[in-house]
Structure 1
Amino acid sequence: MEKEFEEYSWSLKLSHEYNIKLEPFTTPRLKQIIGFIPFTLRYLKYHRECKKKNIQPHMDFFEPTKVKQIYGVPLGGIGTGTIGRSYAGAFTRYQLVPGIYEYETCEANLFTVNIRKKNHTVYQQTLCIKSSQQKGLKGWNMGYCGDHATYYALYPESWTVYDLPGQHVRLTCHQLSPVIPHNYKDSSLPVGLFNWTVENKNKEDIELSLMFTWQSGSCSDKFELTDVTSHSFKNYTNSNTSISGCVINQKLKNIPLEYCIAAKNSENTTITYNCQFYPDDERSGENLWNDLLKDGVLDNVEYDNRKKLNGKLAIAVCVQVKVKPLSKENVEFSLVWNMPKVSFHENQKTYKKFYTRYFPESNNEIAKDIACYSLSSREQWQKELYDFRKPILENKSLPKWYKTVIFNELYYISDGGTVWFDIKDDPTCKHEVVREYGRFAYLEGQEYRMYNTYDVHFNANFALLKLWPKLQLSLQYEFADTIPMESKNDIKFLMDGENGKQKSKNSLPHDIGDPYREPWITLNAYNSHDTKDWKDLNLKFILTVYRDYSYLKDLDYLKYIWPYIKLLMITVQSQDHDGDGLIDSQGHPDQTYDAWSVTGASAYCGGLHVAALSCICEIAKILKDDESLEKYSSILTRAKKAYNDKLWNGKYYKYDCSNSNYNDSIMTDMCCGHWYLRCSGFKHEVFEEEKVKSCLETIFDYNVMKYSNGEAGSVNGMRPNGKVDITSMQSEEMWIGTTCSLASLMIYEGLEDKAWKTLEGMYDLLYNKLGLAFQTPEALMKPNVYRSPGYMRGLCIWSIQYALEQKANQNQSN
């Protein structure tokens, strides 16, 4: 294992178990329920309609995902589909069918080790700590003692170190998927590499075999599996690399899928295989186990359709290596899952995955070619990852825990139900960036199944902007094109029961669709509220566009989107109901806090409005649009005055200007607009420095330090008396992404110590106490309640790094 990374990885024993039991959020407080009764009745009807159509609701409030406190680094590049792994080595949580998760564990997918001394097998053990319920595996030596192995995670890599009991042998499995910033080709590959280091501490030779078994299909029976066959290959060579192994071909939900297990040939290894065994058949599994036990190699069994048995077909690839006393050898495996063409549930359109640009689907050897290329590229990938991480890991001013989570939270870039398509031949594609870099989308959450949910992407997109900026631009261009669109169909919105357009013109869609329907064709899967009335969506797009420009200096991008911003402003200014220049809410939840009602001018939406107007004026200056500059400068002047007059109470900006008993609540997100201005190069030209500092000090003193003693992030709402605001389920939640944006702003404002204090306890809670690594939820609520695990907004931690680097650059220039 690379010693320089061991210090910064998240690590634990394979036997580790979490003592705290978690529950998903299901029921609001009694005082909150009354307002949800009409919604619940309408949602019940909608839920039943979905079940009749055999599809999942895009948000299932009746059957929320129950977390498993087991996850480690997932396998797979961006947009390839992912195969999850537990820190104990199990293959679990698959997302191969676009956007749809399966949470079972595939017990047959595992590694087994065999050790021989003097031509006798002395040890044979699966490297799995759990027993199996599959008939064919019950005779295998399962249940490896997890106390003798340690797991280390630093996404997209992990290392598992096994000290085999009584054998004086250490095995280190280095797992790697090529999720590499600014490397668009390799980041798109559907592959996971397993580089095993075998260390013989004995004073005699050993022969050590590693057998990798893999089952057809996915990890559950959710989708139909058909046309399953397998075959072997020997000494296949490409990219100056020779491999041997097995392939399984099948159709999963009628989508062609090819698994390829390959081992790298070398002078010191012997590679053998079995192309046909059945983990659900007792004799078949027993025969494979005994075959390995006999001599440490397999009998090279080919697939024979006449010997087909019930249950899922599986394959095995075995590598035997001779290891001299007190020396080391390497064994390299690759796992490729090739699904070159996919479609969503409604099958209106077929898409080619982005990697097919480099490995065309017309090539029958695509999986083997990817395996060869990946194995030949492993050391280069490690170097690129090292160079990427080095400035952060070697920065002595950064906390150690931050160096761990900043990389591990990137898991969501690939494991967010992500799709990445090559649409360069699509005649409807009119953007060079989209043609060259593809069409990209990720889910709001693994459980909240809506692609590119924009109010959440607003927080999350810093990871894309910094690391894969062309994907950020591609997404932005395609959102811009949706602004003038209007859907033909009406739908019933569940919160108020009113009918309206699923997507209205001159507004930004909430999302670009649900994978159980047809994304990019049917916009706005979200149906709780009519988001044309939301006060933050349009403003967030404007703020993001200008922030992108300030970072990338892409003038063509700014010129293209400027007319669309003007369309959005038609809608935005219609939301100023009292003519003071500032948008007003109308007594219901009309923003990303979609269960937290707001009336009139508000700290959150009003701040976003003032900030967006400021950015619009800057864009008008850049593009020399004097008429727009004059128009929006006038509105900005009035909006700033109204914002301060109505909401500033001498200490912070009030939640809203209603007559409610919570109008003066302290909201973590009150300075969100100013945060984005700081990210865009502004200082205090719009929001006064003294007021911003006072707000941040108040939030820290109340929302952070009076909430779980400062060890659980920043609660969304806090009352001036130091008690959590329980007006709404969301006011009493702590949102991970919002806490990150708060800390990012604190860094801009010179409050670094408070920023680190705000974050440290939250991440210690998530990773080390609650077992929520690699499934960061949207929200936590005391006691031990979570909502929406595996959520996009967790990527907002990259706004911390964005702020740190911008401040460092400013200090250098000064």
Structure 2
Amino acid sequence: MKRTSKWISTRGLAFPILAFTLCLSMASTAWGGDGIPKAAWKRALGLPLENPGVTRAAGDIDDGYWQGVPVGGFGAGTFSRSYRGDFARWHIKAGVHKYEPVYANQFAMFQQSEGDAHGTSQALMNGHPSNGELSSWQWDYPVGAGDYYGLFPKAWFDYKWDKFPAHVTLEQFSPVLPNNYRESSYPVAVYRWHAENPTNKTVVVSVLLSWTNMSGWFRTYTRDFKGAPNQGNHNEYVSEKVGDAGTMKGIVFDRNRAGTAPNDWDGQFAIAAMESPGVEVSYQTTYQASGDGKAVWSAFSKDGRLANDGKSWVSDKEKLAGAIALRFTLRPGEKKVVPMVVSWDFSLIQFGEGRKWDRRYTDFYGTSGQNAWKIARDGLLHATEWSDEIDKWQAPYITDESKPLWYRGMLFNELYALTDGGTFWGRQAGSDAKATPTFALLECFDYAYYGTLDVRFYASLPLLKFWPDIDKQVLREFADTVPKEWPEQGLWVWKTQQVGEPITHKRKKIGAVPHDLGVPEGDPFVAVNEPGWQDTNDWKDLNSKFVLMVYRDYVLTGRKDTAFLRETWPAVKAAIEYLRQFDHGGGVPENSGYPDQTYDDWVVRGVSAYSGGLWLAALRAGEETARVVGDTKTTAEYHALFLKGQKTYISQLWNGEYFRYDTSSESKDDIQADQLAGQWYANLTGLGEIVPHTMQVSAAKKIFDVNVMKFGHGEMGAANGMTADGAILTNAEAKEVWVGTTLGYAGLLMQEGMNDEAWKTTRGLYHVIYEDKGYWFRTPEAWDITGNFRAGMYMRPTAIWALEMTSPTAK
């Protein structure tokens, strides 16, 4: 599908050199260290965690709690520096997770007071290389000598060590900005050093940034760098006069390439800083990353300068690294802010079956994979502007004292998955440059499906709120698949396990909304609905959720984009008609006796609270959509079907306190936390009562009393399922807390004016993630009563924005 591109920033790329100069000169009076928001999540640098959570699922990713806020834009590839100071998590290859500290990627600091014979030099990591690399460096920065703060897309390392006379704070971010479809795609990390001299002596401060040449390392689908090639890698020192701003100096990390067309592992990194009056930049172009590191440390530890060594060679097989150092002097009481950047350009994505895609940012920088320096330049010139724009975006939320402080920080920190979750944004290589780029979040790296629809029903709320053009485009892509068929057969794993012999199913049927848009190791966005665990063609929630998300996007963007409704209406209508085949006379599609909805290991049979409620809400959304597009016949038809279905739903499921799980399975009388998901969306979009309001309130209270308060003493969120008397169920998914679905329920509570219950429910999630089990920046899909998890770095927890997107008529 081709459309006129809407992906236009409100600002051009150019940034006046004079403005940069002014920003740098103003640094003497601006001090960012005092401006760390109170809402930011805080932890002492390098502080270990006692009794952290571990995965319960064999083979699932479990890298532990050494994590941090990621850098990198939408679809650009990302990496992160943990709160102990090592760069360890790498999501550069699309859809692939690697976790391995790269020790030569490091910051270090030198400080020397006037009159002292020797300065203090220290690598800023709480620990040291486990493999003996860089043995000449001074490692093991003291644990607790400062604090880490996270408020995505920013993080701060606030260094407070008695051997450093100056107080230095490192501010880190990428320009992820609301309603911005340009800079939000950039592969650049900005590191602004805020330095203050509180002493009565002049202090020399120098900060070092060392980086490894990782070009060529991102070839495989493995989770580490074993076998990563270095042959052909080389580093180049670059110096460029940038108008009145100064001289930009740094190193580009590149490799020899066969031919002019890049492979997806071909690319560059760059590190750079701006030399200007009072700020000196020195460099070491190349040294051996696996050696003792003396080429860097012997010079840096002497006076904070590097040797300005431009020597470069091409690697045979040794790991190469390079470094820059940014040195300045602070008079007593003086403050200064100086930026550094890391940029990268891995322009091409090639998925498992060979199709090639250009990343979104290449629209602005080209597709050669050799523009890291240009990207770095823009990072330096725009550093202050971007920082201010992020602060402006966050301010109304994080300063709202009517809401808990812990929540205000969690609200932004859970957004990390929008960039760091294997996010894809690009268009097929060689395609029309005016075509709208394809966008998709990865469900998680353990379940590596792009755009998983049953999950994005919860997860896409912040995408809609801050980048609505992207969210609508995703739904257009799903709409485009509805009338199509993919006839090839795939193994139905769950059913095969049940019967003991291979059972297959069609990849996608006409009229079925696909579960996903494909997988990284396949041919995503072309071969959709990857066969796997369940036959999702007959799932009872996917089609309803698609209908509801389309109407949601129309309503929550002002009810003006009727073109969007008209374009998607055929798919919406087809999705509703497809589900009607499972209606056996009561007006509600019945579940088919297998896990045929997002709870894909929890059997459902007959009319069910979850799928049935979504269906009723979808009928109302379809009715209203039909009214907007002028289809009066369908408007009346859906209204009549809704009334019929509502009567069946209530008569078969309502027991006087809550809606039963379903009518026929062994869980039929259990309490499902997500039973009101359809009503939640109906409230969100002004569709009215799917069931009478007294029933909504009664069910919501019952869920809180049992699924929240009788599970983990009310400090773990809402269990998916509980018996009526408060016992934990045995089903693998029923006995779990799902972060995203709990947040959807909390959003419903907020809509109903049950604010205390909403905060209590959500506070349990915060407790597990940020206080007890160490799931920060890797929030899982689920945990059980032990707090141990399944499926980390999951997409659904971004549903925390449900608490911000309540009905205008909420009490």
- TM-score (norm: length of structure 1): 0.90
| Aligned residue pair count | 758
1:421 correspondence with 2:422: no
1:799 correspondence with 2:807: no
Spell out the pairing of 1:424-503 with structure 2 (5 A cutoff).
426-427=431-432, 435-436=435-436, 438-497=437-496, 498-503=503-508
Query: Counterpart of 1:342?
Result: 349
Cα distance in 1, alignment partners of residues 76 and 368 from structure 2: 18
Query: Counterpart of 1:688?
Result: 692
Query: Counterpart of 1:259?
Result: 269
Higher deviation after alignment, 390-399 or 553-562: 390-399
Which ranges in structure 1 are unaligned for 5 or more consecutive residues? 27-61
Cα distance in 2, alignment partners of residues 21 and 626 from structure 1: 57
Shift of 1:199: 2.1
Spell out the pairing of 1:517-536 with structure 2 (5 A cutoff).
517-536=522-541
Query: Counterpart of 1:773?
Result: 776
Q: Deviations over 1:134-191 (max 9, x none)?
A: 4441221100002211111111111111123333221110111111111111111001
Any conservation in 2 of the 1:223–1:253 contact (CA below 8 Å)?
A: no
AA in 1 matched with 2:89: R
Query: Counterpart of 1:710?
Result: 714
Q: Call closer, same or farther: CA 1:224–1:523 in 2, change over 3 Å.
A: farther
Shift of 1:242: 3.9
Cα distance in 2, alignment partners of residues 311 and 119 from structure 1: 39
Give the secondary structure class of the aligned counterpart of 1:256: coil
AA in 2 matched with 1:256: D
Cα distance in 1, alignment partners of residues 706 and 418 from structure 2: 33
Cα distance in 2, alignment partners of residues 272 and 441 from structure 1: 41
Cα distance in 2, alignment partners of residues 80 and 290 from structure 1: 36
1:176 correspondence with 2:173: yes
Shift of 1:293: 2.3
Shift of 1:633: 2.2
AA in 2 matched with 1:462: L
Query: Counterpart of 1:756?
Result: 759
Cα distance in 2, alignment partners of residues 309 and 564 from structure 1: 56
Cα distance in 1, alignment partners of residues 668 and 263 from structure 2: 51
Shift of 1:222: 5.8
Any conservation in 1 of the 2:208–2:324 contact (CA below 8 Å)?
A: yes
Q: Deviations over 1:271-311 (max 9, x none)?
A: 111111112123xx1232112223321122224327x5653
Q: Call closer, same or farther: CA 1:168–1:295 in 2, change over 3 Å.
A: closer
Cα distance in 1, alignment partners of residues 658 and 133 from structure 2: 65
Query: Counterpart of 1:396?
Result: 401
AA in 2 matched with 1:245: G
Shift of 1:253: 7.2
Any conservation in 2 of the 1:486–1:503 contact (CA below 8 Å)?
A: yes
Cα distance in 2, alignment partners of residues 447 and 159 from structure 1: 29
Cα distance in 2, alignment partners of residues 305 and 71 from structure 1: 34
Give the secondary structure class of the aligned counterpart of 2:400: coil
Give the secondary structure class of the aligned counterpart of 1:299: coil
Any conservation in 2 of the 1:159–1:174 contact (CA below 8 Å)?
A: yes
Residue of structure 1 aligned with 2:592, choices 586, 596, 617: 586
Which ranges in structure 2 are unaligned for 5 or more consecutive residues? 1-31, 218-223, 497-502
Any conservation in 2 of the 1:216–1:314 contact (CA below 8 Å)?
A: yes
Residue of structure 1 aligned with 2:68, choices 72, 83, 89: 72
Cα distance in 2, alignment partners of residues 140 and 5 from structure 1: 30
Higher deviation after alignment, 545-554 or 624-633: 624-633
Cα distance in 2, alignment partners of residues 169 and 526 from structure 1: 58
Shift of 1:254: 5.1
Shift of 1:731: 0.3
Cα distance in 2, alignment partners of residues 762 and 257 from structure 1: 39
Query: Counterpart of 2:286?
Result: 276
1:656 correspondence with 2:655: no
Q: Deviations over 1:85-126 (max 9, x none)?
A: 211221111011111000111111111112244585321110
Shift of 1:225: 4.8
Residue of structure 1 aligned with 2:332, choices 305, 316, 325: 325
AA in 1 matched with 2:615: H
Cα distance in 2, alignment partners of residues 78 and 176 from structure 1: 13
1:741 correspondence with 2:772: no
Spell out the pairing of 1:49-198 with structure 2 (5 A cutoff).
62-116=58-112, 117-118=114-115, 120-198=117-195
Cα distance in 1, alignment partners of residues 39 and 305 from structure 2: 38
AA in 1 matched with 2:303: D
Two-structure CA RMSD over aligned residues (Å): 2.1
Q: Deviations over 1:480-502 (max 9, x none)?
A: 10111211421111111322211
- TM-score (norm: length of structure 2): 0.90
Shift of 1:426: 2.5
Query: Counterpart of 2:6?
Result: none
Any conservation in 1 of the 2:69–2:154 contact (CA below 8 Å)?
A: yes
Give the secondary structure class of the aligned counterpart of 1:739: helix
AA in 1 matched with 2:413: N
Shift of 1:2: 5.4
Give the helix-richer structure, 1 or 2.
1
Percent identity reads 32
Q: Call closer, same or farther: CA 1:227–1:485 in 2, change over 3 Å.
A: farther
Query: Counterpart of 2:789?
Result: 786
Higher deviation after alignment, 392-401 or 593-602: 392-401
Any conservation in 2 of the 1:67–1:789 contact (CA below 8 Å)?
A: no
Any conservation in 1 of the 2:669–2:723 contact (CA below 8 Å)?
A: yes
Q: Call closer, same or farther: CA 1:67–1:119 in 2, change over 3 Å.
A: closer
Residue of structure 2 aligned with 1:294, choices 302, 311, 318: 302
Cα distance in 2, alignment partners of residues 121 and 234 from structure 1: 30
Shift of 1:220: 2.1
1:574 correspondence with 2:584: no
Residue of structure 2 aligned with 1:562, choices 569, 577, 592: 569
AA in 2 matched with 1:706: K
AA in 2 matched with 1:15: G
Q: Deviations over 1:756-785 (max 9, x none)?
A: 111112212211111111111000112131
1:16 correspondence with 2:24: no
Spell out the pairing of 1:621-700 with structure 2 (5 A cutoff).
621-658=627-664, 660-684=665-689, 686-700=690-704
Give the secondary structure class of the aligned counterpart of 2:474: helix
AA in 2 matched with 1:344: F
Query: Counterpart of 2:226?
Result: 221
Q: Call closer, same or farther: CA 1:333–1:500 in 2, change over 3 Å.
A: same
Cα distance in 2, alignment partners of residues 2 and 148 from structure 1: 15
Any conservation in 1 of the 2:63–2:99 contact (CA below 8 Å)?
A: no
Cα distance in 1, alignment partners of residues 646 and 474 from structure 2: 31
Give the secondary structure class of the aligned counterpart of 1:255: coil
Q: Deviations over 1:300-352 (max 9, x none)?
A: 2224327x56531111011111222332233310000111222112222x222
Any conservation in 1 of the 2:540–2:596 contact (CA below 8 Å)?
A: yes
Any conservation in 2 of the 1:238–1:373 contact (CA below 8 Å)?
A: no
Any conservation in 1 of the 2:339–2:383 contact (CA below 8 Å)?
A: no
AA in 2 matched with 1:751: M
Cα distance in 1, alignment partners of residues 326 and 636 from structure 2: 72
Q: Call closer, same or farther: CA 1:354–1:241 in 2, change over 3 Å.
A: farther
Cα distance in 1, alignment partners of residues 402 and 197 from structure 2: 40
Shift of 1:362: 5.2
Q: Call closer, same or farther: CA 1:779–1:317 in 2, change over 3 Å.
A: same
Q: Call closer, same or farther: CA 1:3–1:493 in 2, change over 3 Å.
A: same
Cα distance in 2, alignment partners of residues 583 and 176 from structure 1: 47
AA in 2 matched with 1:613: L
Higher deviation after alignment, 392-401 or 171-180: 392-401
Shift of 1:607: 0.6
Cα distance in 2, alignment partners of residues 524 and 303 from structure 1: 51
Cα distance in 2, alignment partners of residues 240 and 370 from structure 1: 16
